[in-house]
Chains A and B, each alone.
Chain A
Amino acid sequence: EPEVTQTPSHQVTQMGQEVILRCVPISNHLYFYWYRQILGQKVEFLVSFYNNEISEKSEIFDDQFSVERPDGSNFTLKIRSTKLEDSAMYFCASREDRGDEQYFGPGTRLTVT
């Protein structure tokens, strides 16, 4: 069964460094999402992406964040200058054109020290 994959599974970085989290959505899906979950808190929406542009973003998704679909398979989330409060589990999800279900990847645990 097709699945969403994410790399790396765990990323440790120092405050102020740039990180790129990578996702490979399911191949025929057209809608892409990033969510995050800070330890002990709710899963929060960050951004949705469709037709090579951001379709919606939350107030969390400020100028430090960016997303890109650099080729036909990858979907990336970049954090330009990480802060301690960016430490969280980041989930990528994708959805097909006429579907309701978002398929989630296993997540990348980002630890900022």
Chain B
Amino acid sequence: AQSVTQLGSHVSVSEGALVLLRCNYSSSVPPYLFWYVQYPNQGLQLLLKYTSAATLVKGINGFEAEFKKSETSFHLTKPSAHMSDAAEYFCAVRRGGTSYGKLTFGQGTILTVHP
């Protein structure tokens, strides 16, 4: 079984500051990992994904995440926050190598960016 824990339900940063959203996973098999973002009244949009290739993955809007097997982590970072980054972020895990591939989500982290 897979599970995801996101540390911190709310994160607040200043515009221009580093964004760090934490995600730890549990999986009995090599996982595929994803970060999704949800803006108000919109669906979930994929930011980036790890599917067993490079451990440092880059996504849209300047975000990146590093897969660390030894720490079972997949933290999301962005060097400089922008006001438009304010949204809810979800980390998700999927069993690697399966066809059907349900996603198991963390509880989400609301990112607030203040001027």
* A interface residues with partner B (beta carbon < 8 Å): 4, 31, 33, 35, 41-45, 48, 50, 55-56, 58, 91, 93, 95, 100-107
The verdict on B101 contacting chain A, using a C-beta distance below 8 Å, is: yes
The verdict on B115 contacting chain A, using a C-beta distance below 8 Å, is: no
Asked if A91 and B44 sit within 8 Å, CB to CB, the answer is yes
* B interface residues with partner A (beta carbon < 8 Å): 32, 34, 36, 41-46, 49, 51, 90, 92, 94, 99-108
Across-interface contacts of B49 in A (CB, < 8 A): 100-101
Asked if A106 and B105 sit within 8 Å, CB to CB, the answer is no
Across-interface contacts of A43 in B (CB, < 8 A): 44, 90, 92, 103, 105, 108
Asked if B102 and A48 sit within 8 Å, CB to CB, the answer is yes
User: Which residue of chain B has the shortest Cβ distance to A57 in the bound complex?
Assistant: B102
Contacts A55-B100, A56-B100; is A104 near B105 (CB within 8 Å)? no
Across-interface contacts of A42 in B (CB, < 8 A): 105-108
Across-interface contacts of A100 in B (CB, < 8 A): 32, 49, 51, 94, 101
Docked pose: A35 CA to B36 CA in angstroms: 14
Docked pose: A106 CA to B51 CA in angstroms: 25
Docked pose: A91 CA to B90 CA in angstroms: 14
Minimum distance in angstroms from B99 CB to a CB of chain A? 8
Contact of A41 among B43, B101, B107 (CB under 8 A): B107
Q: A48-B102, A104-B44 are in contact. List 8 more A-B contacts (CB 8 A).
A: A41-B107, A42-B105, A43-B90, A44-B105, A55-B99, A100-B51, A101-B34, A104-B45
